[in-house]
Amino acid sequence: MIAKRKTKSRPRIGSGTAPILSFEGVVKRYGPLEALAGVSFQVHRGEVVCLIGPSGSGKSTLLRCANALETIDGGRVVLEGVEVHDRRTDARKLRRRMGMVFQNFELFPHLTVLRNVAVGPTTVLGMPQRQAAERATELLRKVGLADKAAHYPASLSGGQQQRVAIARALAMQPDVMLFDEPTSALDPETIGEVLSVMKRLADEGMTMVVVTHEMDFAKRVGNWIVVFDHGKVVEQGPPQQVFDEPTVQRTRDFLSHLGWHGESLAAADLLVQPSSTDP
Amino acid sequence: MDIDISPLIENWQFILTGLGFTLALSALSIALGAAIGLVGGVLRTYGGKLLDSAIGLYVDVVRSIPVLAILVWTYFAFPLVIGESLTPFSGGVLALGVHLGAYITETIRAGLTSIRPGQMRAALALGMSRFEAIRTIILPQALIRMLPPLGSLIVIAVKDSAIASVIAVPELLRQSQVLAGKTFRPFEIYTAAMLIYFLICYPTARTIDRVYRRLGVLGAS
């Protein structure tokens, strides 16, 4: 476990060791459209890598390529020595190691909150119902929703649903968590509760790849920022560099388009003051 | 017109036998239709192009032929194909089940395709196989969503069982015909038969509707 991170000047975690997840020249085409045109970057254990960039620049596609929900047309994705897209690789075993959180939550509406979290362990790992329920209860407590265990997802707010979705992914005890714009579908007032759950996960040392438009989160929690544009990585580096001294014009354009001018953050903790995270 | 219900009272066991056959014929043809529809719907949706075309052919053929023609063909012609005669009852179950199966196949397919693809992705992302995902995540939601049309099909199946009277299955309508011919009391007897069909079908429809009202929200992803 990694000790609590300092807010400023974090070194790249584990950069001396082999990456847990690496993307090497990943290409993905949809007909004539090249959604990913040779994307390369690495994720080290315990690191929070944030993928930013305009909509349609390939960030979400890349995330789906990471756990083989999409096939790729070139390059490779490697999870600790295992080729994700190799024919001989068992995609199901691989996906157990990577938890995924979706923009639209994708909770299972016909299952209670508890069953949503427990269904992975019972179905995939064959865990006995009682043991899975215990694990689920513990995870729901962790995301602050133990009292909602018997509810159905439809009766929860967006922020609560997304926290359940995080618990559901954690129930498989993954090595890496993939977040696909986890707060983009949320009301502004519930964004903060999801971000703070994610920040706590990061503080516990979870390896995370986060596609996000929340620049405050990326800057405060991210260890490594990867900037996408038109299916390419235009810049990557530690947050201080990308946000405060972007070397590439495209990054500057993108950030200023979001109203980010490189100034330091306000004193208030934006992660618990969700309304101020609005761009 | 004078009304005399004594033929009904005197022959209640005869009518009851008919009701028994109607219920048995309905239940078994619904069970067969549901089994065909469940497998057909899932395979048509997830089984690839070849199975989709093959099952599509079955669905289109069955839907293009009157159920009465299917019944008569099954009872009188099909035995020549297999070289084995069928009892009226098993012929009735087979014909009605195969007929119903086509409609249930399409209904279940519609339900499955209506579940947004993100649900399958979420299930796969947890490490489930496609089969596990369909069984535990997609199909239950599809069935809940399709409860109203499935309910209609079930009620129609009960009513369609009356068609089996033409191949002399001693079900409710057939028994009523026989009794009416014997007693010259068609008004009383056919009215009673109609009433009995209504008393089976109406509560069935209402029950399914009530269940859907309670569960419907669970199919809304």
pLDDT in tens, A145-188: 999 999 999 999 999 999 999 999 999 999 999 999 999 999 98
Mean pLDDT, residues A250-266 taken together: 71
pLDDT band at A11 (very low <50, low <70, confident <90, very high): low
Give the distance from residue B220's alpha carbon to the nearest chain A alpha carbon, in angstroms.
6
The whole-number pLDDT of residue B220 equals 81
Instruction: Give this prediction's pTM.
Output: 0.87
Which pLDDT score is estimated for A8? 45
pLDDT score recorded for residue A278: 39
For B169-211, how does the pLDDT look when each residue is reduced to its tens digit (9 = 90+)? 999 999 999 999 999 999 999 999 999 999 999 999 999 999 9
**Shortest Cα–Cα distance, A121 to chain B (Å):** 9
Residue A16 CB: number of other CB atoms within 10 A?
8
Contact A152, B217 (CB under 8 A): yes
Residue of A69, A89, A106, A155 to mutate, interface with B, max B Cβ within 10 Å: A106
Average pLDDT (A81-87) is 92
- The reply to whether B1 falls in a domain is no
B119-140 pLDDT per residue, tens: 999 999 999 999 999 999 999 9
- pLDDT of residue B7 exceeding 80: yes
Q: Is B192 part of any domain?
A: yes
Question: What pLDDT is recorded for position A214?
Answer: 92
Q: Which residues of A touch B220 (CB under 8 A)?
A: 109, 154
Query: Mean pLDDT, to the nearest integer, of A257-268?
Result: 56
Amino acid at B54: A
- Give the mean pLDDT of A220-227: 95
Report the interhelical angle of A158-170 vs A129-142 (nearest 10°): 130
- Partner-chain residue, chosen from B119, B124, B136, that has the shortest CB–CB distance to A69: B124
Query: Comparing C-alpha atoms, which of A68, A30, A58, A276 is closest to residue A180?
Result: A58
Q: Which residues of A touch B221 (CB under 8 A)?
A: 106-109
Chain A contact residues (CB < 8 Å to B): 64, 67, 69, 92-93, 95-96, 98-100, 102, 104, 106-110, 119-120, 123-124, 152, 154, 168-169, 172
Residue B88 included in any domain: yes
Subunit contact B218:A119, Cβ cutoff 8 A: no
pLDDT digits (tens, 9 = 90+) for B23-74: 999 999 999 999 999 999 999 999 999 999 999 999 999 999 999 999 999 9
Degrees, nearest 5: CA angle B46-B134-A146:
155
- Please count the structural domains in chain B: 1
What pLDDT does A144 receive?
95
Is residue A178 within a helix (H) or strand (E), and if so which, with residue range? strand A176-180
Q: How close does chain A come to B104, measured CA to CA in Å?
A: 21
**Mean pLDDT for chain A overall:** 88
Decide if B92 is inside a domain. yes
What CATH number should be reported for the domain holding residue B152?
Answer: 1.10.3720.10
Contact call for residues A153 and A109 (beta carbons, < 8 A): yes
B127–A168 CB contact, under 8 Å: no
Give the pLDDT of residue A257: 81
pLDDT category at A56 given cuts 50, 70, 90 is confident
Question: Do the Cβ atoms of B126 and A123 come within 8 Å?
Answer: yes
The pLDDT of residue A51 is above 50:
yes
Boundaries of domain holding B193: 6-219
Is residue A197 predicted with pLDDT exceeding 80?
yes
Q: Which tokens go with A195?
A: 């971000």
Task: Count interface pairs A-B at CB distance under 8 A.
Answer: 71
CB contact under 8 A, A120 and B126: yes
Task: Say if residue B23 is exposed, middle or buried (CB neighbours under 10 Å; 0-12, 13-18, 19+).
Answer: middle
Q: How many CB atoms lie within 10 A of CB A163?
A: 29
The token pair at A60 is 């979400």
What ipTM is given for this predicted complex? 0.87
Sheet containing A224-229: which strands, arranged edge to edge?
A98-101, A176-180, A207-211, A48-52, A224-229, A232-237
Q: How confident is the model at residue A16 (pLDDT cuts 50, 70, 90)?
A: low
Which pLDDT belongs to residue A265? 47
- pLDDT for A245 equals 87
Average pLDDT rounded to a whole number, residues A233-253:
90
Domain assignment of residue B134, yes or no: yes
pLDDT of residue A14: 67
Report d(CA A110, CA B114) in Å as an integer.
Answer: 15
**Residue B124 CB burial class (10 angstroms; 0-12, 13-18, ≥19):** buried
pLDDT at A28 over 90: yes
What's the pLDDT score for residue B194?
Answer: 96
Contact A100 B137 (CB under 8 A): no
In this prediction, residue A196 carries a pLDDT of 93
CB-based contact B129 A99, cutoff 8 Å = no
Average pLDDT over residues B100-121: 97
Contact at CB, B128 and A124, closer than 8 angstroms: yes
Dihedral of the CA atoms B91, B96, B99, B104 (nearest 10)? -140
B28 lies in some domain = yes
Rounded Cα distance between A118 and B70, Å, is 47
Q: Which residue of A has its CA nearest to B215?
A: A110
Indicate the SS3 state at residue A225. strand
Quote the percentage of chain B above a pLDDT of 70: 100
- Residue A114 in tokens: 């508890």
